[in-house]
Amino acid sequence: MSGVREIVAAVPDPELPVVTIEQLGILRDVRVGDGGQVTVDITPTYSGCPAMDAIRADIVAALAGQGIDTVDVRTVLAPAWTTDWITPDGRTALEEHGIAPPGPAPAGGAVTALTLTVRCPHCGSPDTRELSRFGSTACKALWVCRACQEPFDHVKAL
């Protein structure tokens, strides 16, 4: 069954449909057993993410649409998801759709990054401010640009 991973990887994230679950970094593994059983491992962006049931159903539906009916979608919590798992294509897609992606974490993990400002995905200005720690979903914060006055979501760095 070639192409099974590609089918799963193309499933859009229900809360951020401009990126796939692979681009967001929550798709961990896809395995096909000898009998055709497909096992998919996914990791939520945070342990209480309400989108996991929708993602699971979307994966099952995408595979069923290709005639694959024996699917087990497993939630894997360790290691915990990090924004470093967002692919470069995913970061670009988020930014192109007005959502500011977080920057990569410092190498070695010994330094804690402090976000003082987020570059506006609309005009590129660094003159922005956080309006609310909670945006349209719990994994995003609401920011506004002082230069162009446009609000935008920022994926929280985890």
Q: What DSSP string runs through 72-103?
A: EEEE--SSPP-GGGS-HHHHHHHHHTTEEPPP
pLDDT in tens, 88-147: 999 999 999 988 887 666 666 555 556 678 889 999 999 999 999 888 787 888 999 999
Going by C-alpha positions, the residue among 138, 136, 116, 139 that lies closest to residue 128 is 116
> Residue 133 is inside which H or E element, if any?
none
Range 4-81 has CATH code 3.60.15.10: no
Domain boundaries, the chain: 4-81, 98-155
Percentage with pLDDT > 70 across the chain: 90
The pLDDT of 45-68, averaged and rounded, is: 91
Residue 25 banded pLDDT, cuts 50, 70, 90: very high
